[in-house]
Amino acid sequence: MYIDYHTHHDRCGHASGTLREVVEKAIEKGFDHIGLSDHSPLFMDKRDHANPNMTMAKSQFPVYVEEMLLLREEYKNKIDVRIGVESDYIEGLEDRYISIYEKYPLDYIIGSVHYFDGFHVYDPRRWHRGEICVDEEYRKYLKLVQKAAKSGMFDILGHIDAIKGLNHKAQSDLTPLLEETAQVIAESGVVVELNTSGLRKCGEIFPSSAMLKLLHDREVAFTFGSDAHSPEELGYGWKESMDVLLSLGVRELATFKARKREMVPIPELTGIPTNK
């Protein structure tokens, strides 16, 4: 069963293609499931559209959900459309975000740490602030990932080691911190995605092979997300991801419907057409 649970479209301001174009491209590429999961509005900001280049406006969120529901019905005989969102994890605002999402018929929520210390995780300015300890940035990021896991807000954790995305490598052995993070995730019961945007950003899937093994050893379940920012990127890195999982002994992927998890088998043939 070919799936892709992490996709974006033009409402977020930094991706291309409409939701319809994402669904139609998924059909063309042979997917069984397509998850629509664009960036949530910045609900922590008082403004309606705090960052037009990063997220949709608050006022657009109901329209986004309604469009996904209409597309699911329209294409129900061709593909299984799952209704999702990629939510920011903002420490201290867990209840606010939960109360908003409870109003909508979402199939799943991806929780991602994007912002900390005043910068987006992919903002290069983070690394040009004078003296900065790379390992400390990793520690702060992974501690927030742990809190996201423990929050109970999310079905899937997104790009859990995205701090490596701009190729700033840890300067010491962070294995104890990675083990701690893997254990927290395992105890929370949340699913971890193999996010192949890492292949485009730093040449390595999010999370790393070492982290995947730590997670698998603790019986964490996985799903797949290309983090596509155009219809053409759907399924990006599928084969590489499945090869890694199969080599670990993983044989199933997590899917979600109405916030309930269902495990599906990984296809034996992993050659779904992609742009990589």
pLDDT band at residue 268, thresholds of 50, 70 and 90? low
Q: Taking the CA of residue 175 as centre, how many other CA atoms within 13 Å lie in the half-sphere pointing to its CB?
A: 4
pLDDT band at residue 131, thresholds of 50, 70 and 90? confident
pLDDT for 65 beyond 70? yes
pLDDT attached to residue 130: 80
Rounded CA separation 59/67 (Å):
14
pLDDT band at residue 267, thresholds of 50, 70 and 90? confident
Q: Report pLDDT digits (tens) over 25-36.
A: 999 999 999 999
Mean pLDDT of the chain: 95
Helix, strand, coil % (nearest 5) of the chain? 40, 20, 45
pLDDT attached to residue 274: 54
Query: Under a CB-based contact definition with an 8 Å cutoff, are residues 38 and 68 in contact?
Result: no
pLDDT attached to residue 235: 96
Look at residue 219 and give its three-state secondary structure.
coil
pLDDT for 88 beyond 80? yes
pLDDT attached to residue 129: 86
Rounded CA separation 27/34 (Å):
9
pLDDT attached to residue 147: 98
Mean pLDDT lowest among 81-85, 151-155, 263-267: 263-267
pLDDT attached to residue 270: 54
Domains, the chain, ordered by start: 10-265 (3.20.20.140)
